[in-house]
Amino acid sequence: WKEQIRSWDFSSVPGVRFLEPTHLTFSEDFVIKPEQWNKLAADSNAADAYFVSPFTGPSGFQVAERFKRPLIFRGVSTRWAHIASYTRSKGLECFVTTDDFRSANDIEGIKNLLMLLRARKTFTQTKVLSLTSRGLPGECGLGVWDALDL
């Protein structure tokens, strides 16, 4: 699956890159063990979202809960729907793409999602210096106010 992920072409999504895939082994008690968390620790500060692939159990929620970043699941399934709804009910983000990822061409859904996430990140970090003599503050945090809802 690592080779499959590396074969996907995301060059049309500016500013987005996939980090080296990490393989986690989920346990039968659905709890991620410390040695598995350690595998994610190296890239946790660099990751803006976590793409979960291939299938996993409810442990995927633990990743969103620990790192407070969106989860992205590949393909539509009832398992993803349940985990996504549970994750969102806890106030965390989770997205399910409609792509089945059988070929390098079948990734348009995740490309669109990544563009939206990138735009949100850019807009929420944008500050504009207002040059005016109208008495407004010198620096205004102008931008999209509802960027978190993108």
CA distance 146 to 150: 7
Q: Is 90 exceeded by the pLDDT of residue 93? A: yes
Instruction: Please compute the mean of the pLDDT values over residues 16-33 and round it to a whole number.
Output: 82
pLDDT of residue 26: 73
Instruction: Please compute the mean of the pLDDT values over residues 2-18 and round it to a whole number.
Output: 78
